[in-house]
Amino acid sequence: MNICTIGGSGFVGTRLISLLKDGNTVLNIDKAPSQVHGFFTQIGDVREPVSFTSKLAGQHAVILLAAEHRDDVSPTSLYYDVNVDGMRNVLNAMDAQGVKNIVFTSSVAIYGLNQSTPPTETSPKAPFNHYGKSKWEAEQVLQEWVSKGEGRNALVIRPTVIFGEANRGNVYNLLKQIYTGKFLMIGNGRNRKSMAYIGNIVAFIKYKLESGFSGIEIFNYVDKPDFDMNTLVHEIYRNKGKPAPKLRIPFQIGILGGYCFDILSKIISKNLPISSIRVKKFCASTVINSDKLEASGFERPVNFKDALQKTLSSEFVK
């Protein structure tokens, strides 16, 4: 197939292109050059349709990865400029070039935090931040596009937090804090976390591209089991060969400290590694239902514990 990734110069796109380039013709469009796949990459921005519309000619499928996703994006309008208007621009460009198939990486952030039961794909949407709100709005734009018919097909994947080798997101920051001795547990640690390994999620995208999808198909993506934070932290310390610290910071103190860092961040006009949103996300339970994924026929290449071990060995064991 001719496959175009949009926003593929980042963590997910780099691993995905590495998997897809054997047997397919891959084009990556991104506003930033790819450090790994420069040969496949051309510069374009989802906010500027003229920069990429003509490049979609002859593509069998588009994989839309481009997104504003950090917790500290400013101004917040960027979430909607990129995630929502960017979706509209990509779909209009696809229509102009006759491309009928799109894969969209959304997020479980659309469900909100601390749900009483693990959300399924049809659960109510209650995003708690602008990232989640903009992803849900982008999904609605996509659903409207598919409803026009004429052979339009969309695969929507809602991944939970993604980790793996070379990732520099929230999971990496947690691992780094532990390995550098700067970790403090906030809360009681009984909150459970659904997580996703990069090698598995890109394999699922490849699987669905090959097996096909029609109309609009939506999948939560999670790698089980769901560890609570105590178990996850103990597993990491076990790999490090040291006991987990017993000192804990009560949530109320932790969130107060997060608000203080929010104020300091505004005063010095600099993003800081600690914020109230990050404290809330760390202490929240984010268990996601994956029954539909389990019934899809997809077999994960790597189990969760082995994926965690591979990540730790790659990043911290020298």
d(CA 242, CA 236): 9
State the pLDDT at residue 1: 95
Q: Using 50, 70 and 90 to split pLDDT, how confident is the model at 277?
A: confident
Model's pTM, two decimal places? 0.91
Which of 111, 131, 172, 197 is the catalytic position? 131
> What is the spatial order of strands in the sheet that 192-197 belongs to?
161-163, 192-197, 223-228
Supply φ then ψ for residue 46, to 5 degrees: -60, -20
Give the pLDDT band of residue 239 (cuts 50, 70, 90): confident
Closest CA to 65 of 95, 44, 39, 96: 44
- Kindly indicate the confidence band of residue 278, based on its pLDDT and cuts at 50, 70 and 90: confident
CB atoms within 10 A of CB 125: 15
Task: Give the model's confidence band at 72: pLDDT under 50 very low, under 70 low, under 90 confident, else very high.
Answer: confident
Q: Which is more confident, 97 or 247?
A: 97
- Specify whether 131 is catalytic: yes
**Residue 23 CB coordination number (10 Å):** 10
34 close to 23: Cβ distance less than 8 angstroms: no
DSSP string, 101-170: EEEEE--GGGG-SS-SS---TTSPP---SHHHHHHHHHHHHHHHHHHT-TT-EEEEEEE-EEE-TT--SH
Strands 223-228 and 192-197: antiparallel
Q: Are 20 and 65 in contact (CB under 8 A)?
A: no
Cα dist from 143 to 103, 203, 216, whole Å = 12, 24, 7
Residue 81 has pLDDT above 90, yes or no: yes
Taking residues 4-13, report their average pLDDT.
97
State the DSSP string of 254-308.
HHHHHHHHHHHHHHHT---S--HHHHHHHHS-B----HHHHTTT---SS-HHHHH
Mean pLDDT of 227-249: 89
pLDDT digits 0-9 by tens, 82-123:
999 999 999 999 999 999 999 999 999 999 987 889 999 999
**If you average pLDDT over residues 209-224, what whole number do you get?**
97
Averaged over 124-136, what is the pLDDT? Answer: 95
**Mean pLDDT taken over the chain:** 94
What is the structure's pLDDT at 229?
92
**Average pLDDT, integer, range 7-31:** 97
**Mean pLDDT value of segment 223-232:** 92
The token pair at 198 is 């990069």
> What's the rounded mean pLDDT across residues 150-157?
98
Task: For residues 25 and 226, give the distance between their C-alpha atoms in angstroms, rounded to a whole number.
Answer: 36
Looking at residues 161-172, what average pLDDT do you find? 88
Q: Which helix (H) or strand (E) holds 20?
A: helix 11-20
> Does an H or E element contain 8, and which?
none
Query: Quick one: pLDDT at residue 156?
Result: 98
Question: What per-residue confidence (pLDDT) applies to 71?
Answer: 75
- Predicted confidence band at 318 (pLDDT cuts at 50, 70, 90)? low
Q: Which residues pair with 63 in a beta bridge?
A: 5, 103
Mean pLDDT is lowest, of 71-75, 87-91, 200-204, 293-297, for 71-75
With 90 as the cut, is the pLDDT of residue 173 above it?
Answer: no
Which residues, 6 or more positions from 181, have their beta carbon under 8 angstroms from its beta carbon? Answer: none
Q: Quick one: pLDDT at residue 125?
A: 96
Among candidate residues 201, 193, 197, the one with its CA nearest the CA of residue 309: 197
Looking at residue 171, its amino acid is V
* Domains of the chain (ranges, CATH numbers): 2-167+194-225+287-302 (3.40.50.720)
